[in-house]
Chains A and B, each alone.
Chain A
């Protein structure tokens, strides 16, 4: 078996446990530690996989030198405490919380070489991962002066972390639509829908553009979606881009892989898929001695 880079997961909740399943498939990354603060189904699953676990926080894991990459799936406040310790221990932090210690990274848009010189990168939000690539694609050919996204997710896939911090979620996504998407101004709306069976994650993306050339916009979006599908195969149009005056509208659905979380939780899947993709790129560079 080819050599793998050792990694750790902090926070084995819904997201962290799904991440664990995804990383079990990785040809480049191995999960060498799962860190929690209490007994949980996620910790139990990690034990069953034979992975070292702890429920006493990150200190034991920090001492394991071979662990190079750490995925933090806790919350913004814990990550703010973890970040300096991870840095001091010489570990690369891939941050799935809204803490944004490091810059926002959306793999299909801005995962260039400069990112790999960093030791902390942030995954924005699930809505940010799903919608900023489209806004970016439209902006580069049509100049987006306003972007508005409505993200609907199933109630079941929105955990307490999201529910107690909807405001932070909106703020972070809006910021990313501007800094990553390139919109001059932006608005984010999020709706939780309790329908049974649960709905797939669904994003309506409106942009107002200065150069409403639908053919160029379409080509640009198709190009970005090709890149996105490498790590999120269930990313697809519900409504292909349509134009009215200067408003381009498209609707995207995200179906998850159904690893630990069911397929409807495309919102959680897309942020995890992005995290794994970024982690593997780091791992590749470490293996090749480029980092």
Chain B
């Protein structure tokens, strides 16, 4: 007994604290998966991370004097880097608009992948020549490749969502073959490096990893980018776990693997919500071709557009109105006006609810977050499964900036790229109103037959403007 207590070193104590931090992360994830405990879960995670960072200052690497290392400089640089990172991250995270959240998550994920890759690269450079176990080299190279893919992939995902580049899939002849070749080249070079531990080859692997991240993401359309971010998030987790193996850190392995495993599950839940398989999302260049709903020249077919006053009257005298929000609502920041319209209608005795498609917007749950920001009452929010049975008794479905998520082609056209995706059955409502900026098809690039239906009325313009006009019209009606 006494022997055991004597043998309990500072290193053991630190590892024990790291274990507690790991438990904190597990509890954080658990909290985050239920609405009640979500915020507390996140705070538990943050507190755990803080403890983990604090206890790391007791690590021998940070305290012991090593010949040739001027510790003061290293520690000073460390504190500067941490202060700088905090000074950049906090305002960025606080000021970002709710609509830009997905991009923000993409950036934070990308830098995490970059950090994991840098750890692995530095550890590789520190390897003594010829004496390193093969599995050690493999861990490091895994961290380099996966971290780099996550880093550059997230950068492209950010550019797509931020509209720095087209959101449409970018395709070129032989794309799949080229991607496969790069993947093969990386595998071959990794195998070579396992034997040679050569620094130049590692640099080539690193560059190819960055290239792979870019070409992997290019053919993925904007609508699918959220699923992609979730996948890259999972990749970063795995890269962190690899760093944990390299550094003998139980904490990094626990945290990284948790994120890696739960991220893959979350990614599959998201693709399921879109009614598609993950390979289909990743490799089909979904939405690269604009498929006309019936025959070509969809743009020239007649549509019925109405004035705000007409539509306001229609809404005010309805019994039941469903608001179907989509990305257009998010870009126009129209969630508050949407709530005003709902309130105005409720005051007229109209029953109003929001029909929320799980993948409307740019991230699953995007609409819920936006509408929560506008303090929309919980009982008005209906998930797609609850909303659909009510659609046939709904008088008016008001589609605000959504398109693919109400496209009946998903039910009726077996050849359509979105066939099989669950949709909000706006087409079953008595009348349908689309608030749209233009006749451009949605992110999936598929024409929507519902736009040409005779019970459909279109109101062109920015979603916020149109909603404001409708509020005035409803109040006047």
A and B are interacting partners:
no
Which residues of B does A touch, CB under 8 Å? none
Which residues of A does B touch, CB under 8 Å? none
